[in-house]
């Protein structure tokens, strides 16, 4: 059997899985391989996020984020219904807890209208209480098309469905890519154990996207910096205090959505996350540390520029990371009756932020082509929601750049 693949995909998170699925569905006769360094799919950002199907409320109208979030949400829900992936389009409330936040709430609402976020409506304090009885707010938005899903299950199902299309396509788990080379018109993807030969390459590297791009000869000026998000969970006796999803009004000066409440598909309720610099790109514990990742980040000017621009936020986030009392105080802005005994420490995730040298976060999705390769260089939230739409975009770019035909 010829051991050369038509397309190799590096990265088995939800974006890599969706790309594999979309390509294999379109090109049933093409031999694909997906290479993942972990022993399971979706082990990093995909498997450690809050499991929300985002509506498209927050994103700049006309941006790739906005377009793909709305399109991808519909595709993801349809896929989940068809293949019985655990999900629930349950809706959420966005709550202003202070009159100063109302102008930002208005902006979010207008974004939602511009992005065709179906069914959204402004709601009063009494209407907030009807939906989430324990929440106190001065104004809000009801977003009925937001949902929750098991993204790990979704990624696994996409791979399962795709592999059924062509028995010659493969999934290689526990194969970490250490080098990418070009030889005689082929991409040589070298892992610690094998060298995979492929005509074309697509990299969905998440937290390692910049390193994989540089290995493939892409002159990337930006760098990926990891930010850990810690969660608390509601104790069993307190779970009834949250019916579905509750979000604050995000501070436009800070590049994260803020601490929120999420009812997960298994019935648990998570509270969080915060956002603190991670001393290890794939470190999910507060004390995880990597010399390589730390030096990589702290010798980069963009990291320090981000720190300086968000110094007060950063200090507060770190204080909350090590103080249950301070974390609770933030949660009490939305649910004032919440007590210390109602919450317990939960899991954590790490987000990949592509930072410019000036410390600016690259807010939109970014996908680039070079030397028979496509690299997903930036796929922040709502990339999981938008995964199938991103996979569509990559497929169309592959058709054009890889001369695959239709």
Domain boundary among 128, 144, 160: 144
Average pLDDT over residues 296-305: 96
Average pLDDT over residues 294-312: 92
Average pLDDT over residues 143-158: 98
Task: Tell me: do 293 and 357 sit in the same domain.
Answer: yes
Report if residue 100 sits inside a domain: yes
Report if residue 73 sits inside a domain: no
Order of strands, sheet of 87-88, starting from the edge strand that comes earlier in the sequence: 52-53, 147-149, 87-88
Give the model confidence (pLDDT) of 180-195 as tens digits: 999 999 999 999 999 9
Task: Tell me: do 102 and 184 sit in the same domain.
Answer: no
- Contact criterion met (CB below 8 Å) for 387 and 17: yes
Task: Tell me: do 107 and 244 sit in the same domain.
Answer: no
Percent of the chain surpassing pLDDT 90 = 87
- Contact criterion met (CB below 8 Å) for 248 and 132: no
pLDDT at residue 73, as a whole number: 97
Task: Tell me: do 338 and 240 sit in the same domain.
Answer: yes
Report if residue 302 sits inside a domain: yes
Average pLDDT over residues 328-350: 96
Average pLDDT over residues 307-315: 82
Task: Tell me: do 338 and 267 sit in the same domain.
Answer: yes
Report if residue 270 sits inside a domain: yes
Report if residue 29 sits inside a domain: yes
Q: Are strands 52-53 and 147-149 parallel, antiparallel or unpaired?
A: antiparallel
Q: CATH number of the domain that 215 lies in? A: 3.50.50.60
Task: Tell me: do 237 and 356 sit in the same domain.
Answer: yes
What does pLDDT average to over the chain? Answer: 94
Task: Tell me: do 156 and 190 sit in the same domain.
Answer: yes
Report if residue 251 sits inside a domain: yes
Question: How many domains is the chain built from?
Answer: 3
Task: Tell me: do 175 and 129 sit in the same domain.
Answer: no
Neighbouring C-beta atoms of residue 295, cutoff 10 Å: 10
Task: Tell me: do 166 and 98 sit in the same domain.
Answer: no
Task: Tell me: do 232 and 298 sit in the same domain.
Answer: yes
Report if residue 138 sits inside a domain: yes
Supply angle C-alpha 9, 14, 19, rounded to 5: 40
Task: Tell me: do 277 and 346 sit in the same domain.
Answer: yes
pTM (predicted TM-score)? 0.95
Q: CATH number of the domain that 262 lies in? A: 3.30.9.10
pLDDT at residue 176, as a whole number: 97
- Contact criterion met (CB below 8 Å) for 331 and 259: yes
Give the model confidence (pLDDT) of 61-113 as tens digits: 989 999 999 999 999 999 999 999 999 999 999 999 999 999 999 999 999 99
pLDDT at residue 315, as a whole number: 79
Average pLDDT over residues 115-122: 95
pLDDT at 297 over 60: yes
pLDDT at 1 over 50: no
Question: Binning pLDDT at 50, 70 and 90, where does residue 313 land?
Answer: confident
Task: Tell me: do 249 and 331 sit in the same domain.
Answer: yes
SS (H, E, C) the chain: CCCEEEEEEECCCHHHHHHHHHHHHHCCCCCEEEECCCCCCCCCCHHHCCCEECCCCCCCCCCHHHHHHHHHHHHHHHHHHHHCCCEECCCEEEEECCHHHHHHHHHHHHHHHHCCCCCCEEECHHHHHHHCCCCCCCEEEEECCCEEECHHHHHHHHHHHHHCCCCCCEEECCCCEEEEEEECCEEEEEECCCEEEEEEEEECCHHHHHHHHHHCCCCCCCEEEEEEEEEEEECHHHHHHCCCEEEECCCCCCCCCCCEEEECCCCCEEEECCCEECCCCCCCCCCCCCHHHHHHHHCCHHHHHHHHHCHHHHHHHHHHHCCHHHHHHHHCCCCCCCCHHHEEEEEEEEEEEEECCCCCECCCCEEEEECCEEEEEECCCCCCCCHHHHHHHHHHHHHHHCCCCC
Give the model confidence (pLDDT) of 241-269 as tens digits: 999 999 999 877 665 667 899 999 999 99
Report if residue 71 sits inside a domain: no
Range of the domain at 279: 224-361
Give the model confidence (pLDDT) of 345-402 as tens digits: 999 999 999 999 999 887 789 999 998 999 999 999 999 999 999 999 999 999 999 9
């Amino acid at each position: 059997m010829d051991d050369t693949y038509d397309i190799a995909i590096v990265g088995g998170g939800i974006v890599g899985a969706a790309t594999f699925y979309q390509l294999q569905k379109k090109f049933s006769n093409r031999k694909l391989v997906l290479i993942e360094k972990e022993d399971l799919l979706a082990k990093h950002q995909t498997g450690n996020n809050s499991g929300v199907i985002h509506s498209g409320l927050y994103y700049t109208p006309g941006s790739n984020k906005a377009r793909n979030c709305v399109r991808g949400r519909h595709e993801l829900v349809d896929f989940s219904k068809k293949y019985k992936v655990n999900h629930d389009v349950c809706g959420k409330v966005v709550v202003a807890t202070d009159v100063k936040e109302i102008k930002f709430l208005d902006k979010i609402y207008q974004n939602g209208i511009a992005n065709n976020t179906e069914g959204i409506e402004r709601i009063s304090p009494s209407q907030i209480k009807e939906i989430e009885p324990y929440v106190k707010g001065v104004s809000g938005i009801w977003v009925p098309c937001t949902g929750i899903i098991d993204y790990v299950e979704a990624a696994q199902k996409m791979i399962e469905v795709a592999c059924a299309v062509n028995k010659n396509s493969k999934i290689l788990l526990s194969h970490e890519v250490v080098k990418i080379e070009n030889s005689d018109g082929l991409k040589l993807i070298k892992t610690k154990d094998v060298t995979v030969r492929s005509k074309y390459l697509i990299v969905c590297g998440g937290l390692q996207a910049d390193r994989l791009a540089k290995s493939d000869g892409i002159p990337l000026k930006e760098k990926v910096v990891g930010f850990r998000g810690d969660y608390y969970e509601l104790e069993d006796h307190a779970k009834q205090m949250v019916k579905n999803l509750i979000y604050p009004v995000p501070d436009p000066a800070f590049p994260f959505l803020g601490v929120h409440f999420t009812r997960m598909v298994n019935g648990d309720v998570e509270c969080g996350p915060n956002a603190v610099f991670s001393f290890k790109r794939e470190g999910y514990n507060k004390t995880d540390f990597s010399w390589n990742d730390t030096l990589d980040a702290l010798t980069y000017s963009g990291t320090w520029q981000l720190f300086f621009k968000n110094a007060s936020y950063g200090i507060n986030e770190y204080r909350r990371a090590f103080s249950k009392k301070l974390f609770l105080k933030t949660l009490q802005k939305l649910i004032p009756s919440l007590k210390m005994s109602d919450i317990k420490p939960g899991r954590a995730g790490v987000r990949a932020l592509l930072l410019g040298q000036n410390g600016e976060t690259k807010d939109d999705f970014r996908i680039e082509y070079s030397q028979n390769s496509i690299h997903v260089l930036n796929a922040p939230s709502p990339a999981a929601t938008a995964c199938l739409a991103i996979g569509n975009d990559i497929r169309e770019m592959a058709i054009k750049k890889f001369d695959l035909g239709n």
